[in-house]
Amino acid sequence: MKRRFFVVFTLLIVASLLAAMGTGAIDFFRAERAAAMQVVNDGDGLIALTGDGNYAKEDSKGRLELDFTDKNISFLGKGFNPKAISKFNNVFKVTNKSAKTVYVWLEAEGWTLRHDNGLTYKVDKTYGDAKVHPGYTNVLLDKYFSNFKGGFGNAAYVELPPGASFDVKIYVDTVTDDYLDEGRNIWDHKVIVRADKNKPGWFGPFEADSANGEEG
């Protein structure tokens, strides 16, 4: 009887252990894994920003900088011409070097009335499977298509799968006003490049992509 009881008791213990293992029960676990990370220049980032080398190039800290003033040693000019229209193609490129599709748009700080009237950022060329939303405009910043703020606005944004990219061009219109007046000739501002796995918000008059009928 004792032998039989011992066998039954042993089998019950084994069954309990197997049941516990089957449910994934664990009291302690520790594992060490390597995490390789580094900070790099804008051109080598997961969302890479690369300039044309003349009007847009990396500063001493590896950050892309746009400079159309006499501080830029790449040319002899001091700024934009009055009463003229100037176009600068392919000023800088945005490339998605990450592993997931992202949506990219521009926001700005220090964007004032003189920027609204005279300055426009647009999507220039696209590469890979980059797609501009909405389909009827490629304007990223100007007076007609509001600057995105905190992800909400009605300017264009670009869907960038891994490896895709797009160029940004800049239009300057000084015909509409007398920008030589003191206090109106300085157009400094900060351009913010935003990338997110979610589409930015939208409060514009159109919400459909006119090119393909998808949500814009």
All structural domains of the chain with their residue ranges = 42-202
Give the range among 109-113, 156-160, 210-214 with minimum mean pLDDT. 210-214
* Pure H helices in the chain: 2-22, 113-118
Residue 21, phi then psi, degrees to nearest 5: -65, -35
Three-state secondary-structure class, residue 11: helix
pLDDT, one tens digit per residue, over 41-76 is 888 899 999 999 999 999 988 999 999 999 999 999
CA distance 147 to 192: 11
Question: Does the pLDDT at position 159 exceed 80?
Answer: yes
State the greatest distance between any 2 C-alpha atoms of the chain, in Å, as a whole number. 109
166 — pLDDT class (breaks 50, 70, 90): very high
Separation of CA 112 from chain center: 22
For range 119-124, the mean pLDDT: 94
Q: What percent of the chain has pLDDT over 90?
A: 46
Q: Give the H/E segment covering residue 152.
A: strand 152-153
13 — pLDDT class (breaks 50, 70, 90): low
